Amino acid sequence: MPQQLDASLNFLLPTAQLPGIDAAAALIAEALQAQAHILIVGDFDADGATATALCVRGLQAMGAQHVAYTLPDRARHGYGLSPAVLRDWLAQADAPPSLIITVDNGISAFAGVAAARALGARVVITDHHLPGDALPPACAIVNPNLADSLFASKALAGVGVAFYVLAAVREKLTAQGWFTRERPRPNLAQWLDLVAVGTVADVVALDDNNRRLVAQGLERIRALHSVPGISALFAVAGKDPRHATSQDLGFVVGPRLNAAGRLIDMRIGVACLLADDPAEARRLALMLNEINQDRRAIEQDMLYRLQKSGQSEAINELNIPRPTHPADWVLFDVTFHQGVIGIVAGRLKERWQRPVFVFAPEDVMADTQPTMPPDARLKASGRSIAGIHLRDVLVSMATRAPDLMLAFGGHAMAAGLSLEYRNLPKFRALFAEEMAKYASQLPDAAVIWSDGELSALELTPQFAQTLHASTPWGTDCPEPLFDNAFEVIERIPLKEGQHWRLSLRLLTRQPQNTTASFAQVPAEPIAAIWFGIGDQLPPGRFWHLAYRLGMNYFRGQETLQLMVVSGAACK
């Protein structure tokens, strides 16, 4: 336990345990010393963007003079290293690459690796996604999830793998006497802010190793030592980086980076992370913020189209009732944007507590073409609930109907696929048949696990700060959640009634032999905020709430603020 609470890098897993890392480091070190042309091929999400920026910064700091990067366009190229990505990059490149390094992709890039080898380039794959039965013929593959891997942190994000590879390259170059007074050995820890953002944004499990990487990155951000791009993203979001939390990385920085890859071009995000001039970083951060606002508008429009009532006021997913028939958990509209379908699927999954697939046209449909031709390609993103392995569901469907899907993949909680529009009804029918197998275990509502009640002595800023200082919170390391009964003194709507600011007074349970169930605690009112609840507030003025402890920083004052996640009227 003391070792788990130690957030320093002293207990970070050694690089040597990652399979393939020695061969990868040797190839990269050789290319760097020869000043060969190195191409980084990233991915269009925050993990891929941070990994790309990290590799460019790291290799340049070690003396590389010819480092370039490219990222696939979600709509034109699809995912990862591909012949199309290389073809488009070569059309504007000054020279072909001698070495290609993939980050956060590549483990299934058979065609992309073949195209790279045809160019005469060596390929080093760094990835964290699950490999298939066969591996691409790359010169080296670094992945904590390879079959022979003894690496204890299988949950390492793509940016985490890239960080380890850079560390191994630096050690290789050190042993070869590469670093001098004029070319000093860089401190890679200076970019742990990038590692922290990519790790949290990719929603990987925060095991001991990942928690240390994130904790160290957060320390840099709070100390105002992050790259200018991350500082600028905090600023345009109106957040103070001195109080940064892992939640800020996942809900403030990550979405603004991801929006570029979803709607326009993730190269904007990478450029922001690579900018050294604060003014340029702010210009790009403002652009990312505007793209994220567009993403939110598209998301709201998609949810509006799913709404049966036809109301015109601002809405959210809470207004959309859960369909009874499982076939209707598969959603499609000709106007849907494929860059946002995963977000909408996730929101509906949380609301309905059912697996959800959302389809969109692969190509943007013109306003004059409201209907889909039968052979038009659709792309889908799915999200699932505990107990239903979404990829296994797709495998079962593909076994029964081999020609149904053009391609599919994913894991337990998220999956994606493509098919022709003519096959959408068949997909819905087969999906409903698969869901019938789970009918007895589908929940009526979300189950919330609480760490219990807090007393008035524990509902303090000091206790909240102690919790926040204990560890970064995230996947498989959830932030503590508490529940208490409160009297609602005041409720103030925010953002057209989508969110609510509350003033609460703690209630305590009375002994069983008394008439009243609860009694008021004579204490100062407690501030709280409830995001996204809309018009679904509980009735009455006595509520039982599940909440997390937060802090509100305003004009130099630090006050306790409860972050409500669920609630009901007291019984």
Residue 366: pLDDT band (50, 70, 90) is: very low
pLDDT at 519: 59
* Whether 39 and 184 share a structural domain: yes
* Whether 26 and 153 share a structural domain: yes
* Whether 342 and 394 share a structural domain: yes
On whether residue 225 sits in a domain, the answer given is: no
Q: What's the domain range around 33? A: 10-216
Q: Name the token pair of 239.
A: 């957040």
On whether residue 302 sits in a domain, the answer given is: no
In sequence order, the β-bridge partners of residue 280 are none
On whether residue 244 sits in a domain, the answer given is: no
* Whether 331 and 434 share a structural domain: yes
Count CB atoms within 10 A of the CB of residue 403. 10
Is the pLDDT at 235 greater than 60? The verdict is yes
pLDDT at 314: 42
Number of domains in the chain: 3
Q: Summarize pLDDT for 515-557 with one digit per residue, the tens.
A: 555 556 556 899 999 998 888 899 999 999 999 999 888 777 7
Is the pLDDT at 510 greater than 70? The verdict is no
Q: Summarize pLDDT for 197-208 with one digit per residue, the tens.
A: 999 998 888 999
Average pLDDT score over residue span 137-159? 94
Residue 361 belongs to domain with CATH number: 3.10.310.30
* Whether 16 and 161 share a structural domain: yes
pLDDT at 311: 39
Burial class of 557 by CB neighbour count within 10 A (0 to 12, 13 to 18, 19+) = exposed
Of residues 125 and 510, the one with the higher pLDDT is 125
Average pLDDT score over residue span 56-69? 97
Nearest to residue 99, comparing CAs of 125, 79, 73?
125
Last residue of a domain, one of 160, 190, 216: 216
Residue 467 belongs to domain with CATH number: 2.40.50.460
Place of tokens 């003014």: 279
pLDDT at 369: 55
Residue 50 belongs to domain with CATH number: 3.90.1640.30
Q: Summarize pLDDT for 108-124 with one digit per residue, the tens.
A: 899 999 999 999 999 99
Contact yes or no for 136/106 (Cβ under 8 A): yes
Last residue of a domain, one of 216, 232, 260: 216
Place of tokens 């060596």: 122
Q: Name the token pair of 258.
A: 């991801």
Of residues 351 and 428, the one with the higher pLDDT is 428
Q: Name the token pair of 435.
A: 């869901």
* Whether 380 and 488 share a structural domain: no
Any idea what DSSP says for residue 134? S
pLDDT at 533: 87
Q: Name the token pair of 207.
A: 């095991």
* Whether 529 and 425 share a structural domain: no
Contact yes or no for 224/190 (Cβ under 8 A): no
Is the pLDDT at 351 greater than 90? The verdict is no
* Whether 504 and 410 share a structural domain: no
pLDDT at 88: 92
pLDDT at 54: 98
Contact yes or no for 378/420 (Cβ under 8 A): yes
- Euclidean distance between CA atoms 296 and 311, whole angstroms: 18
Q: Name the token pair of 115.
A: 């195209």
* Whether 180 and 47 share a structural domain: yes
What's the number of CA atoms in the CB half-sphere (13 Å) around residue 182? 0
In degrees and rounded to multiples of 5, residue 415 shows phi and psi of: -155, 165
Nearest to residue 560, comparing CAs of 502, 509, 487?
502
The DSSP code sequence of 67-114 is EEEE---TTTT-SSS-HHHHHHHHTT-SS--SEEEEES--TT-HHHHH
- Euclidean distance between CA atoms 71 and 447, whole angstroms: 39
Last residue of a domain, one of 163, 190, 216: 216
Strand 482-494, strand 499-509: pairing? antiparallel
Average pLDDT score over residue span 446-475? 89
- Euclidean distance between CA atoms 359 and 408, whole angstroms: 13
* Whether 437 and 487 share a structural domain: no
On whether residue 278 sits in a domain, the answer given is: no
Average pLDDT score over residue span 121-147? 94
Contact yes or no for 216/200 (Cβ under 8 A): no
Q: Summarize pLDDT for 392-404 with one digit per residue, the tens.
A: 999 999 999 999 9
On whether residue 258 sits in a domain, the answer given is: no
Strand 499-509, strand 526-530: pairing? antiparallel
Which range in 183-197, 316-330, 519-533 is most confidently predicted, on average pLDDT?
Answer: 183-197
CA pseudo-torsion sign 316, 318, 323, 329: positive
Stretch among 13-17, 188-192, 300-304 having the lowest mean pLDDT: 300-304
CA pseudo-torsion sign 51, 62, 217, 273: negative
Percentage of the chain modeled with pLDDT above 90: 68
* Whether 552 and 417 share a structural domain: no
- Euclidean distance between CA atoms 387 and 441, whole angstroms: 8
pLDDT at 321: 80
Nearest to residue 163, comparing CAs of 12, 4, 5, 3?
12
- Euclidean distance between CA atoms 161 and 217, whole angstroms: 15
CA pseudo-torsion sign 414, 415, 421, 425: negative
On whether residue 492 sits in a domain, the answer given is: yes
Average pLDDT score over residue span 223-229? 97
Q: What is the mean pLDDT of the chain?
A: 89
